[in-house]
Amino acid sequence: MKKHFLHLATAAILALSLSFYACDDDNDDNGGQNNGNNGNDWPYLPQKLGMKVDGNQWESDVESILGRLISPEIYIQGSNKAGTSNIQLVYQGIWNQGTYTVKRAAYSIQSREYVLREAADASITFSSFTVQDPVKQDSTFTGTFEAMLIDTLNTPWDTVFITEGFFENIYFNR
């Protein structure tokens, strides 16, 4: 009888363990997706990156969005869903809310690359910095940007105007 009870108890524990293992834990804020954020375990908010290029709406594919801190610069970049165009912004300065000049910017589409000619031709506004881990500098940042970029490889120079640019919850890690 004692042996039979141990077999039943072991089977019950095994069945219970397997049922917990089989459950999908999707309790983070982003439906189990980390949007390419290196699989870290703090809850991710959905990342977004978009803008208007000469008045046409452009949106980055979520999986291509990348925020990177290569001290002392912050990089924000992403590509559209088709992979035919991309944007990269580089900021260097203080990490406070406010509006600042962009150090470098580039927008590429097909065989053309538009770049920032003068710092005064672009601005970035940070509306929030959220530090998740002050030691590792795991953080997100949100804000807006605009720029006038020039393709200097063609004569006459071709210009694109980026307006209503936005980035939300861009994750970066040192």
> pLDDT tens digit string along 77-114?
999 999 999 999 999 988 789 999 999 999 999 889 99
Task: Provide the 3-class DSSP secondary structure of residue 150.
Answer: strand
The answer to the question of residue 32 being in a domain is no
DSSP structure class, residue 20: H
What per-residue confidence (pLDDT) applies to 121?
95
d(CA 4, CA 6): 6
Q: Are 113 and 107 in contact (CB under 8 A)?
A: yes
For residue 59, being part of any structural domain is answered with yes
Q: Output the pTM of the full model.
A: 0.71
pLDDT band at 137 (very low <50, low <70, confident <90, very high): low
Per the model's pLDDT, the better-predicted residue between 172 and 91 turns out to be 91
Residue-level pLDDT at 78: 97
Q: What amino acid is encoded at 115 in this protein?
A: V
Which tens digits make up the pLDDT trace of 16-72? 333 333 333 333 333 333 344 444 444 567 899 999 999 999 999 999 999 988 888
Any domain includes 72: yes
What tokens appear for 92 in the block?
């260097």
- The rounded radius of gyration (Å) of the Cα atoms in the chain is 23
* Model pLDDT, residue 135: 59
Q: Does 12 reside within a domain?
A: no
The H helix count followed by the E strand count for the chain is 1, 11
Q: How many CB atoms lie within 10 A of CB 148?
A: 17
Q: What is the mean pLDDT of residues 129-158?
A: 81
77 in a structural domain? yes
- The answer to the question of residue 17 being in a domain is no
Summarised one tens digit per residue, pLDDT across range 125-136 is 999 887 666 555
Mean local confidence (pLDDT), 153-171? 91
Tell me the backbone φ, ψ of residue 3, rounded to 5 degrees.
Answer: -65, -45
Helices (H), the chain: 2-22
Range 31-40 contact pairs with CB under 8 angstroms and sequence separation of 24 or more: 35/62, 35/63, 35/65, 35/171, 36/62, 36/63, 36/64, 36/65, 36/66, 37/171, 38/173, 40/138, 40/173
Task: Report the number of distinct structural domains present in the chain.
Answer: 1
Q: Alpha-carbon distance 116 to 124, whole Å?
A: 13
Query: The tokens 């710092």 sit on which residue?
Result: 119
Q: Is residue 54 part of a domain?
A: yes
Structural domain span for residue 160 = 48-172
Residue located via tokens 């072991």: 10
Q: Name the band, by pLDDT with cuts 50, 70 and 90, for residue 7.
A: very low
80 C-beta neighbours (distance < 10 Å), count? 17
Q: Domain for residue 20, yes or no? A: no
